[in-house]
């Protein structure tokens, strides 16, 4: 066994060589801090191997090993060092290839291209995790871009439709005003009534746009209080009864028990009114529209409006609450006096108001028409 004094000498020599070579390696890394990762990896590996080789040679010389044995040791350490550096070079090149692949993935992500995880290749757990995060981020960005593109297209379409709907009443107002100015109106009172109707029509459109902008910007202010849903339905039916009668449409209302919800009376009345106007516009003459309200047994009140307008194509059911959506030929509305111009804002406003009341609105086709269900928390469930 090696004596303790000799062991301490060997340890001291090896430690000194390792410290010196390590310090040289740190200095080289500092100088080459902007070099490629392959070069830095090689510096680390060469420093580790060099500290072992220098330590062995120094100890061998200090221990007075024969020249033959010293030559054998030097050859062994030299060959081992060369092989180790070669292996490190191969591993470093594989590492840099994976790094380059990740860099190309990041560049593609910045260019808006979609990244598939299969492109990341094989690597360590850290590189694989980074590649997976990049692929996930790419997928989310692609979905966000698609959503933004859809919303932008919908907004442009809405603006085009609104511009078209505004142009018609404005052109009518201008023509009637010019006729009155030139004294060509045979019945000025009738012209005045028509102009008043067109102004009311424009005012309703502007009011719808303002309401929708508040909903979409999250600035809709609600004055919450207990509200009788039965009273809201009765008032809406009474208000629109004359419009329905003009088209020979019967409004039938029914409710079960005391139905009280917590909400803004004005906004909830707007929900019911918009649903009824939509049903009247799309129902044929002589048909019936039913308005019912009930408890669903789960702490909610359900308001149902069912018409006989022929239903909605299944492909359009998911679009019906989008701002600017317009009915197909199966549900083409006739213009109602005092109603909206059919700019496709009414149902979008309804959905926004219902969701602001922590409720939900759904639509489904029924035989001969469609049914809207508005589900709102009841007053008792909110109080509890």
- The pLDDT, as a whole number, for residue 338 is 41
- The pLDDT, as a whole number, for residue 360 is 93
Show the CA angle centred on residue 206, arms to residues 235 and 325, nearest 5°.
85
> In the predicted model, is pLDDT for residue 43 greater than 80?
no
Query: CA–CA separation, 347 vs 359, rounded Å?
Result: 15
- The pLDDT, as a whole number, for residue 329 is 41
Q: Residue 119's pLDDT band (boundaries 50, 70, 90)?
A: very low
- The pLDDT, as a whole number, for residue 176 is 86
pLDDT in tens, 233-282: 999 999 998 889 988 999 998 876 678 899 999 999 999 999 999 899 88
Helix, strand counts (H, E) of the chain: 9, 7
Question: Among residues of the chain, what percentage have pLDDT more than 70?
Answer: 82
pLDDT in tens, 182-214: 887 778 888 888 888 888 878 888 888 888 888
- The pLDDT, as a whole number, for residue 205 is 81
Distances (CA, A) of 64 to 13, 60, 225: 14, 7, 99
> In the predicted model, is pLDDT for residue 74 greater than 50?
yes
Beta bridge partners of 360: 375
pLDDT in tens, 303-345: 999 998 888 888 888 778 877 666 544 333 344 544 444 456 8
Mean pLDDT (the chain) is 78
Q: Are 240 and 373 in contact (CB under 8 A)?
A: no
Q: Topology of domain 156-217, per CATH?
A: Helix Hairpins (1.10.287)
Residue 36 φ/ψ, nearest 5 degrees: -70, 160
Q: Residue 2's pLDDT band (boundaries 50, 70, 90)?
A: low
Beta pairing, strands 300-306 & 260-263:
unpaired
For the four alpha carbons of 222, 224, 229 and 230, in that order, the dihedral sign comes to negative
pLDDT in tens, 334-355: 445 444 444 568 888 899 999 9
Query: DSSP string of 172-230?
Result: HHHHHHHHHHTT--S-HHHHHHHHHHHHHHHHHHHHHHHHHHHHHHT------EEEEHH
pLDDT in tens, 136-181: 787 788 888 887 887 777 677 777 777 777 787 888 888 888 888 8
Query: DSSP string of 108-124?
Result: HHHTT----GGGG-S--
Helix, strand or coil for residue 364? strand
Q: Residue 10's pLDDT band (boundaries 50, 70, 90)?
A: confident
Token couple for 268: 């909830």
Token couple for 177: 């005003």
* 357/19: higher pLDDT: 357
Query: CA–CA separation, 296 vs 109, rounded Å?
Result: 48
The one-character DSSP state at 287 is -
- The pLDDT, as a whole number, for residue 140 is 82
For the four alpha carbons of 280, 282, 285 and 291, in that order, the dihedral sign comes to negative
- The pLDDT, as a whole number, for residue 343 is 53
- The pLDDT, as a whole number, for residue 267 is 92
* Burial class of 282 by CB neighbour count within 10 A (0 to 12, 13 to 18, 19+): buried
Distances (CA, A) of 37 to 100, 186, 284: 10, 90, 75
> In the predicted model, is pLDDT for residue 383 greater than 70?
no
Q: Please give the model's pTM, rounded to 2 decimal places.
A: 0.57
Name the nearest CA neighbour of 106 among 119, 93, 91: 119
Token couple for 48: 């580790």
Domain boundaries, the chain: 4-113, 156-217, 225-383
Token couple for 225: 């209080």
For the four alpha carbons of 71, 72, 77 and 81, in that order, the dihedral sign comes to positive
Query: CA–CA separation, 248 vs 287, rounded Å?
Result: 7
CATH architecture of 225-383: 2-Layer Sandwich (3.30)
């Amino acid at each position: 066994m090696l004596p303790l004094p000799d062991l301490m000498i060997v340890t001291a020599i090896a430690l000194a060589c390792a410290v010196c070579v390590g310090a040289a390696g740190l200095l080289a890394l500092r100088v080459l801090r902007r070099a490629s990762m392959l070069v830095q990896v090689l510096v680390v590996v060469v420093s580790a191997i060099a500290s072992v080789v220098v330590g062995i040679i120094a100890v061998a010389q200090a221990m007075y090993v024969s020249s033959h044995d010293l030559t054998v040791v030097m050859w062994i350490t030299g060959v081992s060092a060369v092989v180790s550096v070669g292996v490190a070079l191969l591993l470093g090149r594989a590492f840099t290839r994976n790094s380059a692949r990740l860099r190309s993935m990041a560049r593609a992500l910045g260019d808006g291209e979609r990244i598939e995880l299969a492109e990341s290749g094989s690597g360590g757990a850290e590189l694989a995790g980074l590649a997976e995060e990049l692929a996930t981020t790419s997928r989310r960005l692609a979905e966000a871009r698609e959503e933004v593109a859809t919303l932008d297209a919908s907004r442009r379409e809405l603006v085009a439709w609104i511009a078209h709907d505004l142009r018609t009443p404005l052109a009518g107002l201008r023509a009637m005003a010019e006729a009155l100015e030139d004294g060509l109106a045979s019945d000025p009172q009738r012209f005045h009534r028509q102009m008043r109707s067109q102004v009311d029509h424009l005012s309703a459109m502007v009011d719808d746009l303002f309401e929708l902008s508040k909903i979409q910007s999250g600035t809709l202010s609600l004055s919450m209080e207990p509200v009788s849903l039965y009273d809201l339905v009765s008032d809406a039916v009474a208000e629109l009864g004359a419009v329905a009668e003009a088209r020979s449409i019967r409004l039938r209302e029914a409710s079960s028990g005391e139905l009280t919800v917590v909400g803004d009376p004005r906004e909830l009345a707007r929900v019911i009114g918009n649903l009824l106007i939509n049903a009247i516009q799309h129902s044929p003459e002589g048909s019936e529209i039913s308005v019912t309200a009930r408890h669903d047994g789960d702490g909610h009140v359900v308001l149902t409006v069912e018409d006989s307008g022929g239903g909605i194509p299944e492909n359009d059911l998911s679009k019906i609450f989008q701002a600017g959506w317009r009915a197909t030929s199966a549900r083409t509305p006739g213009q109602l006096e005092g109603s909206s111009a059919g700019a496709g804002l009414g149902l979008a406003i309804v959905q926004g108001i219902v969701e602001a009341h922590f409720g939900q609105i759904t639509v489904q086709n029924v035989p001969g028409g469609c049914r809207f269900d508005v589900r709102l928390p009841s007053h008792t469930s909110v109080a509890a």
